[in-house]
Homo-oligomer: A and B are copies of this chain.
Amino acid sequence: MCELLGMSANVPTDICFSFRGLMRRGGQTGPHRDGWGIAFYEGKGCRAFHDPAPSCESEIARLVSSYSIKSCVVISHIRRANRGRVSLENTHPFTRELWGRVWTFAHNGQLKGIKERTLTFYEPVGTTDSEHAFCWLLDQIRMQYPEPPKSSGALMRLIRDLATDLGTLGVFNMLLSDGRYLWCHCATNLAWLTRKAPFGPATLIDEDMSVDFAKETTPDDVVTVVATRPLTRDENWTVMKSGEMVVFKGGNRVR
């Protein structure tokens, strides 16, 4: 199984602490030896790092965990290959442009028969089920809305329905973003946590490391972290239900 990590915040925030916990699951405390990737939004721009090598050995992972890139939306993925060979083009997160925005997608699970679904606008570069599912998802959104819908509610409902549909093909734990919203769909494992004032300390489960967020934040900060499994031992994570979708914007839950 792969590990997902997402973040939504109301001010540019670094993900060093959570990423450090996740990275340890890349070959050291976890069995995720088949690459990793991370995408950071900065305004409308999106910066992505991918490495087919295990994250606990990766030069680039070290850069990301030490160099504090600040972002309001982050999606990361550590891969355990089950479909598609280990290569750069099969490494999540995947990105495509729709409506002049960069969309980013990471998935954990398998989707039986997804490759039989016809694609129109977007085509996979690699051979994973996941990238095919992403292309299909964006195709459906684009067919329904060649221009961005005026109502964000309509888009929320459409994405929820599409995620539910994909969920019928197998296991579909998903993180998706357009740089504003962070959509999180749970099939089997996904948990989230919102940090806001009053901030307290947090200790990683996978490494003997603590942060006192009271010292790292301002009182107005709102930061939500989403992960396959809770990353800290002393905070109150919400474990999602199968089939559930939650959506965050600026750190706050909006659906």
Contacts and interface: CB of A to CB of B under 8 A. Distances in A.
Nearest to A94: B97
Which of A90, A91, A125 neighbours the largest number of chain B CB atoms within 10 Å of its CB? A125
A96 B43 CA distance: 19
A48 B48 contact: yes
Interface stretch (A75-83, A98-106, A163-171, A203-211): A98-106
Interface stretch (A3-11, A116-124, A182-190, A224-232): A116-124
A91 B126 contact: no
B47 A88 contact: yes
B88 A100 contact: no
B50 A126 contact: no
Query: Chain A at the B interface: mostly helix, strand, loop or mixed?
Result: mixed
Question: Copies of this chain, how many?
Answer: 2
- The range of chain A's interface size is 20 to 34
Contacts of A67: 59-60
Given A96-B97, A100-B125, A121-B121, A50 B59 contact: no
Nearest to A42: B88
Contacts of A48: 48
Interface string A188-206: 0000000000000000000
Interface of A: 42-50, 59-60, 63, 67, 87-91, 96-97, 99-102, 121-126
Given A45-B88, A100-B125, 4 more contacts: A44-B87, A45-B87, A48-B48, A96-B97
